[in-house]
Structures are given as structure tokens and as C-alpha cells.
């Protein structure tokens, strides 16, 4: 169970970094995209327990 949780944390961390990268460098002008990514970020944070 703990191993599974660790794996999930690593995956969500990588995803968070990807989302941050996307937000910071790629599409800051695209409001809808930012909102969608932020929503995904919130869901991931909730599931990873942060």
C-alpha cells in the first residue's frame, strides 16, 4: 500500500512539474487552458494528499 502511494506521489509530482512548466512557459495567454490545468492540479493535489 505504501509503495503504491509513493508511486502515486512521484507520478503526481511529475505531473505537477509538467503543469507548472506549461503554465509558466507555454501558454500563459490562454485563459481556458490555464483554468483547465489549474482544475487538474487541484484534483491531483487532493488525491496525493497535499
Note the pLDDT tens digit of each residue in 32-49.
777 888 888 888 888 876
34: containing domain: 2-48
Q: Into how many domains does the chain fold?
A: 1
The Cα–Cα gap between 2 and 10 comes to 12
> How far out from the chain centre does Cα 42 lie?
7
> How far out from the chain centre does Cα 50 lie?
11
End-to-end C-alpha distance for the chain, whole angstroms:
18
**Mean pLDDT for the chain overall:** 74
Look at the pTM and tell me if it is higher than 0.95. Answer: no
Amino acid at each position: 500500500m505504501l509503495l503504491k502511494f509513493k508511486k502515486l506521489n512521484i507520478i503526481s509530482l511529475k505531473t505537477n512539474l509538467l503543469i507548472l512548466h506549461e503554465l509558466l512557459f507555454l501558454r500563459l495567454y490562454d485563459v481556458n487552458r490555464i483554468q483547465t490545468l489549474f482544475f487538474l492540479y487541484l484534483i491531483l493535489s487532493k488525491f496525493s494528499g497535499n
